[in-house]
Homo-oligomer: A and B are copies of this chain.
Amino acid sequence: MAVYTDVNEEQLRAFLAEYDVGTLLSYKGIAEGVENSNFLLRTTGGTFILTLYEKRVNRDDLPFFIGLMDHLALKGLSCPLPIVRRDGGHLSELAGRPAAMVSFLDGAWLRKPQPQHCREVGQALAAMHVAGSDFAIRRANGLTVADWRPLWEGARARADEVQPGLKDEIDQELASLESDWPSGLPEGVIHADLFPDNVFFIEDRLSGLIDFYFACNDFLAYDIAICLNAWCFEPDGAFNLTKGMALIDGYVCVRPLEPGEAEALPLLARGAALRFFLTRLHDWLTTPEGALVVKKDPLEYMRKLRFHRQIDSASEYGLRIKDLTQ
């Protein structure tokens, strides 16, 4: 939950005067998102989300994030549409922070997603990949295989505090991923953080994707791997094959996979698990007890990683031969 920066009425009035959205009716800080400050804004012109970008977001990346939402929304993907100022710009300054306003998306994120929701997520992910294919700006993934070792070096000495034996296990895993990481797979814009809290549903229908602040260019299949980890494991740690099949099925009916992508999927899933394990481990070791942000258990991702090491082929995630391009 997060409102790091408050905004007063004078600042907001000056900000809104640059937009064509009518008179302010209300604004409330919302307790979602851990990186930025978010307000739900109602004006006589509609309902909006106002985001103040806090220091963890690199200012130079904002044109990519905002341009991407604009691009995807205009292609018909249901995602927040950045609101244009009278002078044509999207990015403003508010309370000393870069700030932007986007359209409000109806829908609520699911605390307990079911297989039919996983199918919709797969479809929406593929639709995003297709819609993003001609987006002009590029952004390298700052949390891909080459970035894991520096992250790991910062936490390695204390890893056994979290679980004895972790240090050796990650040392081996990381070396193996570094040597085996694939190349040449289809690339494009990926969401890179499509967890349940970033996907809205109205009743059982997917109503939109939000939070593109990890989006970047990388292997499209890596985004599927992230989603398998985020959507298809049960709270007790078990992989739910029905959910896996639904997610992949939803994906391939929009964009079939190449055989190389299917083959790489177990390794990509290990990498995706390691990536979230490492950032969670870093936060676990550096966030003070009782801080504003709820700490997420890094071991959840360690258990997922171990599961993926036993996987021989993507069929164990629910992929069928018919899902592949010929």
Q: Which A positions have Cβ atoms within 8 angstroms of B? A: 1-3, 6-10, 12, 23-32, 40, 42, 105-108, 110-112, 200-203, 288-292
**Is B290 in contact with A24, judged by CB distance below 8 angstroms?**
no
Interface of A is mostly: loop
Q: A1-B1, A1-B31, A31-B1 are in contact. Are A110 and B9 (CB under 8 A)?
A: yes
Which of B9, B31, B290 has a CB less than 8 Å from the CB of A111? Answer: B9
Q: A6-B111, A111-B6, A289-B290 are in contact. Are A29 and B26 (CB under 8 A)?
A: no
CA distance A199 to B104 in the complex (A): 25
Rounded to whole Å, the gap between the CB of A72 and the closest CB of chain B is 20
**Is A29 in contact with B27, judged by CB distance below 8 angstroms?**
no
Chain B residue nearest to A49 in the complex (CB): B28
**Is B107 in contact with A25, judged by CB distance below 8 angstroms?**
yes
**Is B9 in contact with A112, judged by CB distance below 8 angstroms?**
yes
Q: A29-B1, A30-B30, A289-B290 are in contact. Are A24 and B112 (CB under 8 A)?
A: no
Chain B residue nearest to A8 in the complex (CB): B111
Rounded to whole Å, the gap between the CB of A288 and the closest CB of chain B is 5
Which of B8, B26, B31 has a CB less than 8 Å from the CB of A112? Answer: B8
Chain B residue nearest to A294 in the complex (CB): B292
Rounded to whole Å, the gap between the CB of A207 and the closest CB of chain B is 8
Which residue among A1, A30, A31, A40 has the maximum number of chain B CB atoms within 10 Å of its CB?
Answer: A31
9 closest A-B pairs by CB: A8-B111, A29-B31, A25-B106, A3-B31, A31-B31, A290-B291, A28-B30, A290-B290, A26-B108
**Is A9 in contact with B108, judged by CB distance below 8 angstroms?**
yes
Rounded to whole Å, the gap between the CB of A9 and the closest CB of chain B is 6
**Is A106 in contact with B42, judged by CB distance below 8 angstroms?**
yes
